[in-house]
Amino acid sequence: MITHPCLHPSLSKPSLSFLASSSPPFLQHLSFLPTSPLITKPVLVHSVKPLHVKWSSTNPTSQSHPDHAPSVSTLKIAIIGFGNYGQFLAKTLVSQGHIVLAHSRSDYSHVAKKLGVSFFLNPHDLCEQHPEVILLCTSIISTEQVLKTLPLQRLKRSTLLVDVLSVKEFARNLLLDTLPPDFDIICSHPMFGPQSAKQSWKDLFFVYEKVRIGNESSRVQRCEQFLGIFQSEGCKMVEMSCQEHDKLAAGSQFMTHTVGRVLDMLGLESTPINTKGYETLLDLVENTCRDSFDLYYGLFLYNKSALEMVERLDLAFDALRNELFGRLHHVVRKQLFENGEKVKSVRDSSYQTGAASAFSSNALRSQDVTIPYEFKGKILESVDDSSKLKIAIVGFGNFGQFLAKTLARQGHSVLAYSRTDYRDAAQKLGVSFFSDANDLFEEHPEVILLCTSILSTEKVLKSLPFQRLKRSTLFVDVLSVKEFPRNLFLQHLLPEFDILCTHPMFGPESGKNGWNELPFVFDKVRIGNDERRVARCNSFLDIFAREGCRMVEMTCAEHDWHAAGSQFITHTMGRVLEKLQLESTPINTKGYETLLKLVENTAGDSFELYYGLFMYNVNAMEQLERMDFAFESLKKQLFGRLHGVLRKELFGDSEKLEVLQEKSVKKNGAALSSSPESVKIS
């Protein structure tokens, strides 16, 4: 665990001469560094203005139709830093009729020409054009250097300078320290970019603080005209202090990028059985990995709350891992020492309880892994009498009732049994409920549908009176892990019973609006050759195909391999974030909204389900270790780079002097050895 308590004091200004007021917050509070006699007067960083959200009253059209854009007073705007983001903003500025100039160290003159922008390689030439607004679109790390190289003396004294950095206190202090007092200052953050706003800016957040605006009506009006650019595009205009922004952004923007980069290090790939939750993680990775590491490092280095978020994420992951291993330790102890039994090996004990797959990658794994393919069963408009099944649901909790609703609607005869009395719920669904499993099985259902939890499945299965069933009964499970129930069925069911292992990869929440295009995975583990038994299996699968499910046939081994990389990781990340108690903010990004929805979806499931995913999927431990390694690697990247910055600031000059002295000694020594005097001496 990495802790730096000395980095947390809330100082408004740095105490280091080489950092000035614009230095990274992490470096500002290191107590072992020498203080400077040239400390400037601290600047208040917390605005007294309350949070104000200004909703656009216009109904802007798409940016692709500039002729129909709302009317905005024309400004002469100079963009400093004409990379991807500068070009992204310039496109809209030009479409609104503003005069746009640009300067960048790289030559973007050809791009500028296409956009209708005047490009200047020399900043002096640009500043002599006297733009009304200077729009800083530089990276966080390069902003200070770029700002100090600008010939500010060539600008009008009342020029408005605006930044669009993702961190705000750093930018605010830098602008106040660097700019002449005559300049107006707006610190802003358009909380979107080329990817998230490629369709339009409507309903996307634009955060700003009027740090310093002159009292003259012309300067006040110019400020409002600039803000009107974003308001006219439909942005949600949020006025808040830079300090408040950074506090909220550390919990949203920085956390989103951190999670995205950890997942990117895992090398996540789309699978044939993606859940909705896993799809959101893939989208998150795609959105965050497009940004440079410099942007992420800047979010970390220049936001004083970022280190706390890293530590909290670290603690949350450790807590979840300890919770899993603590439960595992309890299970192992119970198996080894319960009832005074002699100590057995962990593998033998776990094999007898059906949990061998949690400990051995070779035990009871399916021998063949097939390529998934779409189910081609015949789908009828309505279920005829010959296709109707008598289905007994064992385990009539939330998921059992969720499936029963559709089964009954399709006209199947549905029976149910559960240890808890769900008689009232069953009656509402048109299901016959039995409180005694013997009574249920004497009804001779054609299909036994096990909807129990992963942890209780073995106990429930062993308690069922199989002798009361017909010998050709079809057993189906719907567990989130597949090799475990497959092995359990093969071990405990009579050889006459048919076995179908399935996983509807959706639930009451994700399937509340229908099952269309949601994956249904199945493995025909053991189906008799009799035509009637084959038809019964297909009739059961037709239930889901008829609802529009994407039917995917694959072995249980293949399922668990994919699920460990998708379902288990999705639940793990959701539970880690749940421990952070993330809350919605007034400035949520799309990525942060994804994290909040992930927490909401996974928190609705019991810990027993998550523990079952861990315990009964042989690949889960590997994925947990990979996630831990990815997070540790990301921390090393961040702190390694921070260490480099510190060394440069602390020892840069002395190290340069030592290098020069060494070179001088070597040069003089070489010259001495080649001189005539040295030859004579030798």
Torsional class of 417: left (φ above 0), alpha (ψ -120 to 50), beta (otherwise): beta
Residue 344: alpha-carbon gap to chain centroid: 42
Phi, psi values for residue 544, rounded to 5°: -85, -35
CA distance 223 to 237: 14
The tokens describing 591, both together, are 């990525």
Confirm if 174 and 21 have CB atoms less than 8 A apart.
Answer: yes
Judged against a pLDDT cut of 60, whether residue 373 lies above it is answered with: no
pLDDT score, position 88: 97
Beta carbons within 8 Å of 281's beta carbon, 6+ residues apart: 263, 268, 569, 570, 573, 598
- The dihedral over CA atoms of 467, 471, 472, 477, expressed in degrees to the nearest 10, equals 20
Q: Is the fold of 76-239 the same as that of 390-565?
A: yes
pLDDT score, position 233: 96
DSSP state of 41: P
The SS3 assignment for 80 reads: strand
Residue 611: alpha-carbon gap to chain centroid: 22
Check residues 8 and 415 and name the one with the higher pLDDT.
Answer: 415
Judged against a pLDDT cut of 60, whether residue 564 lies above it is answered with: yes
Q: Which of 35-44, 142-151, 383-392, 575-584 has the lowest mean pLDDT?
A: 35-44
Check residues 323 and 90 and name the one with the higher pLDDT.
Answer: 90
pLDDT score, position 382: 52
| Parallel, antiparallel or unpaired: strands 118-120 and 133-136 | unpaired
Query: Which residue type, as a one-letter code, is found at position 615?
Result: M
Check residues 598 and 544 and name the one with the higher pLDDT.
Answer: 544
pLDDT band at 234 (very low <50, low <70, confident <90, very high): very high
Phi, psi values for residue 505, rounded to 5°: -85, 55
Please provide the average confidence, as pLDDT, over all residues in the chain. 81
Check residues 266 and 109 and name the one with the higher pLDDT.
Answer: 109
Sign, CA dihedral 586-588-593-595, equals negative
pLDDT score, position 145: 93
pLDDT band at 17 (very low <50, low <70, confident <90, very high): very low
State percent of the chain over pLDDT 90.
Answer: 49
Beta carbons within 8 Å of 61's beta carbon, 6+ residues apart: 68, 69
Query: Which residue type, as a one-letter code, is found at position 442?
Result: E
The SS3 assignment for 417 reads: strand
The tokens describing 434, both together, are 């039995």
CA distance 440 to 171: 71
Check residues 360 and 238 and name the one with the higher pLDDT.
Answer: 238
pLDDT score, position 438: 97
**Average pLDDT, integer, range 650-656:** 60
Residue with structure tokens 């002599």?
Answer: 128
Residue with structure tokens 């071990």?
Answer: 491
Task: With CA atoms as reference, report the closest residue to 450 among 505, 389, 514, 403.
Answer: 403
Residue 565: alpha-carbon gap to chain centroid: 15
Judged against a pLDDT cut of 60, whether residue 627 lies above it is answered with: yes
**Average pLDDT, integer, range 16-27:** 42
**Average pLDDT, integer, range 547-567:** 91
Residue 580: alpha-carbon gap to chain centroid: 14
Judged against a pLDDT cut of 80, whether residue 645 lies above it is answered with: no
Task: With CA atoms as reference, report the closest residue to 287 among 51, 591, 17.
Answer: 591
Give pLDDT tens digits for 83-124.
Answer: 999 999 999 999 999 999 999 999 999 999 999 999 999 999
Check residues 128 and 508 and name the one with the higher pLDDT.
Answer: 128
Q: Which of 58-62, 167-171, 258-262, 385-389 has the lowest mean pLDDT?
A: 58-62
Judged against a pLDDT cut of 70, whether residue 388 lies above it is answered with: yes
The SS3 assignment for 241 reads: coil
pLDDT band at 149 (very low <50, low <70, confident <90, very high): very high
pLDDT score, position 334: 67
CA distance 278 to 131: 48
**Average pLDDT, integer, range 582-601:** 84
Alpha helices in 120-241 (DSSP H): 123-127, 143-149, 169-178, 217-231
**Average pLDDT, integer, range 403-425:** 97
Q: Which of 208-212, 228-232, 412-416, 654-658 has the lowest mean pLDDT?
A: 654-658
Torsional class of 111: left (φ above 0), alpha (ψ -120 to 50), beta (otherwise): alpha
The SS3 assignment for 308 reads: helix
pLDDT score, position 135: 98
Give pLDDT tens digits for 584-593.
Answer: 888 888 888 8
Topology adopted by domain 76-239: Rossmann fold (3.40.50)
- Between helix 276-289 and helix 556-579 the angle, nearest 10°, is 70
CA distance 621 to 335: 20
- Between helix 276-289 and helix 590-603 the angle, nearest 10°, is 150
Query: In whole angstroms, how far apart are CA 213 and each of 48, 82, 179, 181, 190?
Result: 15, 26, 13, 10, 20
Judged against a pLDDT cut of 50, whether residue 20 lies above it is answered with: no
pLDDT band at 34 (very low <50, low <70, confident <90, very high): very low
Query: Which residue type, as a one-letter code, is found at position 141?
Result: I
**Average pLDDT, integer, range 29-33:** 39
pLDDT band at 509 (very low <50, low <70, confident <90, very high): confident
Judged against a pLDDT cut of 70, whether residue 136 lies above it is answered with: yes
Three-class HEC string of 558-583 = HHHHHHHHHHHHHHHHHHHHHHCCCC
The structural domains of the chain, with segments of one domain joined by +, span 76-239, 260-327+574-636, 390-565
CB atoms within 10 A of CB 52: 10
Task: With CA atoms as reference, report the closest residue to 434 among 454, 412, 418.
Answer: 418
pLDDT band at 40 (very low <50, low <70, confident <90, very high): very low
Check residues 188 and 581 and name the one with the higher pLDDT.
Answer: 188
Confirm if 295 and 139 have CB atoms less than 8 A apart.
Answer: yes
CA distance 402 to 393: 11
pLDDT score, position 175: 97
pLDDT band at 661 (very low <50, low <70, confident <90, very high): low
pLDDT band at 521 (very low <50, low <70, confident <90, very high): very high
**Average pLDDT, integer, range 264-289:** 85
pLDDT band at 297 (very low <50, low <70, confident <90, very high): confident
pLDDT score, position 9: 34
**Domain 390-565 is in which class?**
alpha beta
The tokens describing 333, both together, are 């102890």
CA neighbours closer than 13 Å in the CB half-sphere of residue 129 = 21
- The dihedral over CA atoms of 599, 602, 607, 611, expressed in degrees to the nearest 10, equals -110
Judged against a pLDDT cut of 80, whether residue 410 lies above it is answered with: yes
Judged against a pLDDT cut of 70, whether residue 344 lies above it is answered with: no
Check residues 402 and 593 and name the one with the higher pLDDT.
Answer: 402
DSSP state of 51: P
pLDDT score, position 359: 32
pLDDT band at 656 (very low <50, low <70, confident <90, very high): low
Judged against a pLDDT cut of 60, whether residue 598 lies above it is answered with: yes
pLDDT band at 278 (very low <50, low <70, confident <90, very high): confident
DSSP state of 383: -
The tokens describing 27, both together, are 């470096």
Judged against a pLDDT cut of 60, whether residue 286 lies above it is answered with: yes
